[in-house]
Structure 1
Amino acid sequence: MFFAKYMPPKRVVHVPIDVWEDIFVATNPDTRLGHSPLRALAQSVNVPVDFIPPEKPDFKHWKPPPPFSSTAGQPPLNHVLITASFGRILTPAQLELFQPTRRLNVHGSVLPAYRGPAPIQHAILANATETGVSVAQMLKRGIDKGPVWATTQIPLSRDATFTSLRTELAAHGGKLLISVLRDMLAGTAKSSPQPAESPTPHAHSITVADAILDFATMTAEDIVTRHRAIGHQRALTTWMPSGIRLHLHDPAVTHTPPPRLSAVPGALVYYKPERTLVIRCAGGTAIAVPRVKKERRTMLEAREFWNGVVPHPKLLVDGELRLVRLDVDAEADLHSTTH
């Protein structure tokens, strides 16, 4: 039984029948934002799909469809549970429907590195030069802490994004999973226990706080790296002097900022030759931003945004807009005093 949130590598569902007799997929239901890509893939190859409850509290009481839901006797060894980028924690009762060695998780790192729900994002944020994928046994006390059946290591390019790296790791993960399943069928599969401690920090879920920029401490390269890692799910965030939240889209390092841009971190000017907003960052570096979005507003090209700022001289200091960093509490206080 295969549990996943995102599209799995097609190799998993097209694998030769020497590995599987039947595949059942469990994934999230369709939402108003679109259809589940995993559901679409599974149904295109006539693989049965079961939808999990959309709310996490309800999922705790969910059971997979027969024949995996039986609690009579020991689960058969030919029933295998596989998760990949699932986004949910399976309960002990759900895990117990499968033999311990048949509870497999395809994890987007070389375990024990980057344990946690966001290994791909944190590998990019850390500027790691290598990463990989692991097939590990899920434990009741941690889905990414069990014995490792196999790993594949790959170089991590300096321009990798979450999306490009996820696609690459999915392909490697599919091949690795098939290899492990074949070894299990042949009786030659061997696992190795993980050390208790990970060499890297816990790869926690990405939150709004991870997207908040501090131009006084983050260099241009730091900011672009952050965008590559989390930009697909969280827009990089700063604030205008008025307290309006501003999202920066598709930032790039620029080595030729306009001469009029001051050295003050957060200083912003419009650079007409490149049609971008150029922002001073830590260490004298700068980023160029082609598009921005105020909260609850539509996306604006750099020129459109700047034309809306110029008529308001109170926002400018020596012809520059000075972006600021607010935390959530400070933002709430500001709005409570201005509304």
Structure 2
Amino acid sequence: MYFMWNVYHSQPRKNVFYVLKSVLSRLDLPGKEVISNLSLKHFSHDSRFSLRVLFFGTDNFAVENLKILNDEFGMLNVHASLLPRWRGAAPIVHAIMSGDRKTGVSIMRIMPKRFDIGDILAQYHIDIGPHDTNCDVSNKLAVAGGRLLVTCLKDLENYSANAQPQGDVGITYAPKIQPSLGHVSWQDKNAESLYNLWRALFGIFHITTFWHGTQVRLMEAQKFEREEMSIADKPGKIIFSKTSRMILVVCAGGGKVGFRKIGVAGKKPMSAEDFYNGYMSKRSPEDWYFH
């Protein structure tokens, strides 16, 4: 039997290695005594134990990894969503970006040419907090996925025999993301969706916009309720709040999102106050807009 762990931007391969090493050490597997001595270099290639680990989404991805899907024992995958919701490469990003309040992990069977649509052996739910970032949710799911995997593998015959096909209701897709996803169109993003986008991309890509032709990165976000501010202007309008010491940006619908740090292209990230002193104060307030 093989075990596959999908590795993306938010899951460095070395982190996944230590999670899997911990999981494998708890199982009664042939060659278990050598697991504690495995290194990251040998982990996906060592044949001294029966459970082989394949890393997809890394520079070690190879056609050979796909060929073993024809193995008679099949393959299990720990997928970071409650399938059939968020099938695809970036389930955590899409769950947070869509404002989901719950997600989870699915232990599923993979067959050739049937990625993310195989039978479900087990699932576990977790809550997504209103301020949880991609890193927060990834860490929760890493723990939940590791524990659920151990549970399944300890009674694999039973879980495998009782695996259930995925339903046809509630299917959504989570395609691979690109840096361009982080570029903000202020006319199209309300405060809730912008804050969700920032949380979803945290640790992967930055939220970006333009200040008079210069690209800037928006960091350390906080959502503000409409009644807390009195800015009445078009989306993209910015001010510096001396109270919160943040750059506040008007979003579609009138809501605001604040940012504590700004990264100007070619420069190190600076505080919102430094951005105000170095850039905003040198222009008329009528020109204080992100585009």
Question: Where on the TM-score scale, by shorter chain, does this alignment land: which range?
Answer: 0.7 to 0.9
8 Å CA contact 1:248–1:291 kept in 2: the answer is: yes
Structure 2 gaps, min length 5: none
Structure ID, larger Rg: 1
- State the match for 1:321 in structure 2: 288
Matched residue type, 1:281: C
Taking the aligned partners of 1:46 and 1:278, their CA distance within structure 2 comes to 51
Matched residue type, 1:322: Y
Taking the aligned partners of 1:82 and 1:211, their CA distance within structure 2 comes to 32
Matched residue type, 1:181: L
C-alpha distance 307-24 of structure 1, shift in aligned 2 (>3 A): farther
In the TM superposition, residue 192 of structure 1 has moved relative to its aligned partner by 2.1
TM-score (norm 1): 0.71
Q: Deviations over 1:111-155 (max 9, x none)?
A: 121111111111111111221101112232143222222111223
TM-score (norm 2): 0.82
User: Is it true that 1:225 corresponds to 2:196 in the alignment?
Assistant: yes
Matched residue type, 2:216: L
Decide which of 19, 22, 37 is 2:31's aligned counterpart.
22
C-alpha distance 220-188 of structure 1, shift in aligned 2 (>3 A): closer
Decide which of 91, 94, 98 is 1:122's aligned counterpart.
94
Taking the aligned partners of 1:102 and 1:257, their CA distance within structure 2 comes to 56
Matched residue type, 1:298: K
Taking the aligned partners of 1:24 and 1:144, their CA distance within structure 2 comes to 33
Taking the aligned partners of 1:12 and 1:113, their CA distance within structure 2 comes to 28
In the TM superposition, residue 10 of structure 1 has moved relative to its aligned partner by 4.2
8 Å CA contact 2:133–2:200 kept in 1: the answer is: yes
Q: After the TM superposition, which residues 134-153 of structure 1 pair with which residues of structure 2 at under 5 Å, given as runs? A: 134-153=106-125
- State the match for 1:272 in structure 2: 242
**Secondary structure of 1:169's partner?**
helix
User: Is it true that 1:65 corresponds to 2:63 in the alignment?
Assistant: no
**Secondary structure of 2:146's partner?**
helix
C-alpha distance 297-187 of structure 1, shift in aligned 2 (>3 A): closer
Taking the aligned partners of 1:98 and 1:12, their CA distance within structure 2 comes to 25
- State the match for 1:113 in structure 2: 85
8 Å CA contact 1:269–1:278 kept in 2: the answer is: yes
**Secondary structure of 1:245's partner?**
strand
Matched residue type, 1:67: S
Structure 1 gaps, min length 5: 26-41, 53-63, 69-77, 325-339
- State the match for 2:276 in structure 1: 306
In the TM superposition, residue 291 of structure 1 has moved relative to its aligned partner by 0.7
Matched residue type, 1:19: D
8 Å CA contact 2:247–2:259 kept in 1: the answer is: yes
Taking the aligned partners of 2:257 and 2:223, their CA distance within structure 1 comes to 5
Matched residue type, 1:250: E
In the TM superposition, residue 19 of structure 1 has moved relative to its aligned partner by 2.9
Matched residue type, 1:292: I
8 Å CA contact 1:291–1:301 kept in 2: the answer is: yes
Matched residue type, 1:275: R
C-alpha distance 23-244 of structure 1, shift in aligned 2 (>3 A): farther
C-alpha distance 249-66 of structure 1, shift in aligned 2 (>3 A): closer
Decide which of 181, 187, 202 is 2:173's aligned counterpart.
202
- State the match for 1:297 in structure 2: 267
Matched residue type, 2:30: E
8 Å CA contact 2:69–2:112 kept in 1: the answer is: no
Matched residue type, 1:160: D
Matched residue type, 1:50: K
8 Å CA contact 1:235–1:248 kept in 2: the answer is: yes
User: Is it true that 1:180 corresponds to 2:189 in the alignment?
Assistant: no
Q: Deviations over 1:190-214 (max 9, x none)?
A: 322334x572432112212210112
Taking the aligned partners of 1:65 and 1:150, their CA distance within structure 2 comes to 27
C-alpha distance 15-274 of structure 1, shift in aligned 2 (>3 A): same
The list of structure 1 runs, each at least 4 consecutive aligned residues, that deviate by more than 6 angstroms after superposition, is none
Give the structure, 1 or 2, with the largest relative contact order (CA under 8 Å, sep 6 or more): 2
**Secondary structure of 1:172's partner?**
helix
C-alpha distance 187-122 of structure 1, shift in aligned 2 (>3 A): closer
Taking the aligned partners of 1:282 and 1:168, their CA distance within structure 2 comes to 32
In the TM superposition, residue 293 of structure 1 has moved relative to its aligned partner by 0.5
In the TM superposition, residue 273 of structure 1 has moved relative to its aligned partner by 2.5
8 Å CA contact 1:80–1:102 kept in 2: the answer is: no
**Secondary structure of 1:283's partner?**
coil
Aligned residues: 279
